[in-house]
């Protein structure tokens, strides 16, 4: 199972096509969609695709190693599974499947606060290897309680997402009236009925709910008020002052996710953060946003010695991962490809996707003549 690879889907786009056939439209649209015109989603892709690498063939070379050391643990590959909200809506038990695959393959899985799985269950499934992604809980009591639970469950790394000061204006979701659990409108029901395998699995898995946050949600909150509640309590805007109490309460490695401005990276270093994720939230928050691959090189050159630099947004292949690492990232995260994998192949989808990306990346590094991940910047064709 761990080495599962289905030759029918050698590329993430193949998985995507299969997943689209198996996931109801409203859920797939949430996974795919970006903010407003979705310009930023497309730009993330094209800017990553524009990165070029140059191979070096005549120097002696033995083999390439994908392992990367982060915060005292050596991971088997330089990529992890990014936090994705409402995963359980796209494929039942997706968080559980991906957390298990990631743990078995020894790469980090980052659990979203707005996941359908509870943080306690994912900690158990991932044998304590999963990371935890937190929004900014503005309610002090919730923040305290959540942090206690995260510590108690044994999460090694805390990722605080700071790039959602607003609810992303995503036209597809607005049209679909997206909610978790899904609204039973005629349109949604028809979309669900069109996907029998999803229906069956969903029935057996049960209604997707935000398990981690459930204890804090008030009784009988109507769906239309939930967003307001979330904004007010667990997803509020966070600035450097807001991060300080979290830094004080959390003694382990702290990663700030969603930065793109070098100024912010500097502030994060001053705060005492241990890592930053250069990201524009997969193009889901600011449609005119800069794609993170662009400033990455500059940020990496300046700050790589001070802080771990991670990158996500727009990565869909081993090539993209190599491009990001060559541009200076220590490590990368991918989101959508893993959900495509689970959507297409169910339980085996996590392993398949991880194996595909590892095979692709190995081929690229072998082709370049690069033996370790940290050396990839030497192969970048600088503009």
Partner 1 sequence: MVENAVLHSIDFYVIGIYVFLLLAIGLFVSMRQAKNASLFVGDKSVGFASIGMSIWGTNIGPSFLIASFGAAYSSGMLIANFEWFAWIFLLILGMVFTPFYLKSNVTTIPQIIKRRFGDGMYRLLSIYSLITIVIIWLGSGLYVGGLLFSQFTGWELWQSVLLLLIIATSFTIVGGLAAVIATDAFQTVLMIVGMAALTLIGLYEVGGIDGLMAKAPAEYWRLIDFDSESVPWMSFVLGYPIMGVWFWCTDQTIVQRVFASKDVPTAQKGILLAAVLKILPPFIFILPGIIFYVLQPGIENTDGAFIAMVSEYMPIGFRGLMIAVLMAALISTLDSGLNSFSTIFTLDIYQPMIKKGKELSGKEVRLIGRIVTLAASALAFVWALAMEGMATNLFEIFQTLIAFLAPPLTTLFLVGLLWKRVTTAGATYGFVLGCITCMTVGICSINGQTFGLFEQWPHFLNLTFILFIVTSAITIGISLVTKHSADEEFLPKFKDVANTDSSQNKSIWRGWLILAIVMVGLYAGFEYLARNAGNTSDIPSSLSTELSSSPSTGSSTKKTASHSEPLTTNTDGLGLPEVNVYRGETPTFDGFIDQNEYQDATMLTGIENWNPQFSAVSDPKDLSGTVWIKHDGEYLYFAFDIVDNLMYGVDTPRWLPQENPNAHELTREGFPWFGDGVEVLINAKNSFSQEDGELNKGNGHSWQMVVSTHKSRLGGVGVAGLLEGEERSMLSAWNNYQKWILNKDMEAKVRIKPDSKGYTVEWRIRPDPCLEISPGEFWSADMPVTKMGLNLAVADLDNENEGAGNWGNFWHENWWSGERDKRTWLKQWGTMVLHGKTQPISTQDI
Q: Report the catalytic residues.
A: 281
Which uninterrupted H or E stretch holds 248? helix 240-249
Q: Is 216 in the site for partner 1 (CB under 8 A)?
A: yes
Question: For partner 1, which stretch binds (CB under 8 A), given 199-207, 315-323, 326-334, 347-355?
Answer: 199-207
Question: For partner 1, which stretch binds (CB under 8 A), given 71-79, 184-192, 251-259, 359-367?
Answer: 184-192
- Contact between residue 135 and residue 168 where contact means Cβ atoms under 8 Å apart: no
Q: Is 229 in the site for partner 1 (CB under 8 A)?
A: yes
CA angle 100, 103, 105 (to 5 degrees): 105
- Contact between residue 309 and residue 300 where contact means Cβ atoms under 8 Å apart: yes
Q: Is 237 in the site for partner 1 (CB under 8 A)?
A: no
Q: Is 197 in the site for partner 1 (CB under 8 A)?
A: no
Closest by alpha carbon to 310, among 348, 353, 275, 262?
Answer: 275
- Exactly one of 36, 42, 49, 205 binds partner 1 (CB under 8 A); that residue is 205
Q: Interface mask (CB under 8 A) for partner 1, residues 89-118, using x and -? A: ---x--------------------------
Q: Is 128 in the site for partner 1 (CB under 8 A)?
A: no
Number of CB atoms found within 10 A of residue 333's CB: 27
Closest by alpha carbon to 102, among 348, 349, 351?
Answer: 351
Q: Is 319 in the site for partner 1 (CB under 8 A)?
A: no
Which uninterrupted H or E stretch holds 74? strand 73-75
Q: For residues 36, 38, 43 and 44, what is the CA-based torsion angle, rounded to 10 degrees?
A: 100
Q: Is 167 in the site for partner 1 (CB under 8 A)?
A: no
- Exactly one of 17, 189, 227, 288 binds partner 1 (CB under 8 A); that residue is 189
Interaction site with partner 1 (CB under 8 A): 92, 139, 141, 145, 152, 184-186, 189, 199-200, 202-207, 214-216, 218-221, 225, 229, 233
């Amino acid at each position: 199972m761990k080495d599962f690879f289905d030759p029918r889907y050698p590329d993430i786009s193949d998985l995507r096509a299969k997943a689209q056939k198996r996931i109801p439209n409203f859920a797939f649209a949430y996974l795919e969609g970006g903010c407003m015109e979705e310009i930023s989603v497309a730009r993330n892709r094209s800017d990553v695709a524009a990165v070029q690498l140059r191979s070096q063939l005549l120097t002696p070379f033995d083999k390439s190693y994908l392992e990367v050391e982060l915060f005292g643990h050596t991971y088997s590959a330089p990529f992890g599974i990014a936090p994705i909200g409402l995963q359980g809506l796209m494929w039942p038990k997706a968080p559980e499947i991906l957390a298990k695959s990631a743990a078995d393959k020894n790469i980090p899985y980052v659990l979203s606060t707005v996941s359908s799985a509870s943080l306690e269950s994912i900690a158990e499934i991932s044998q304590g290897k999963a990371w935890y992604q937190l929004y900014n809980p503005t309610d002090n009591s919730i923040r305290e309680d959540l942090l206690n639970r995260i510590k108690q469950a044994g999460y090694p790394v805390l990722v605080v997402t700071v790039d959602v000061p607003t609810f992303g204006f995503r036209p597809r979701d607005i049209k679909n009236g997206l909610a978790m659990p899904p609204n039973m409108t005629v349109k949604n029901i028809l979309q669900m009925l069109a996907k029998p395998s999803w229906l069956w699995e969903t029935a057996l898995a049960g209604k997707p709910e935000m398990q981690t946050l459930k204890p804090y949600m008030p009784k009988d909150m109507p769906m239309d008020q939930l967003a307001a509640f979330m904004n007010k309590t667990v997803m509020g805007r966070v600035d450097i002052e807001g991060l300080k109490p979290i830094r004080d309460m959390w003694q382990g490695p702290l990663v700030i996710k969603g930065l793109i401005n070098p100024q912010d990276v500097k502030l994060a270093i001053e705060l005492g953060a241990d890592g930053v994720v250069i990201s524009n939230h997969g193009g889901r928050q600011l449609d005119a946003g800069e794609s993170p691959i662009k400033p990455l090189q500059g940020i990496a050159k300046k700050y790589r010695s001070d802080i771990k630099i991670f990158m996500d947004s727009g990565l869909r292949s081993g090539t993209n991962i190599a491009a990001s690492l060559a541009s200076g990232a220590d490590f990368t995260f991918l989101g959508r490809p893993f959900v495509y994998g689970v959507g297409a192949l169910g339980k085996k989808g996590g392993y398949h996707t991880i194996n595909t990306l590892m095979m692709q990346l190995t081929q690229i590094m072998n082709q370049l003549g690069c033996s370790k991940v940290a050396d990839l910047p030497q192969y970048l064709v600088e503009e």
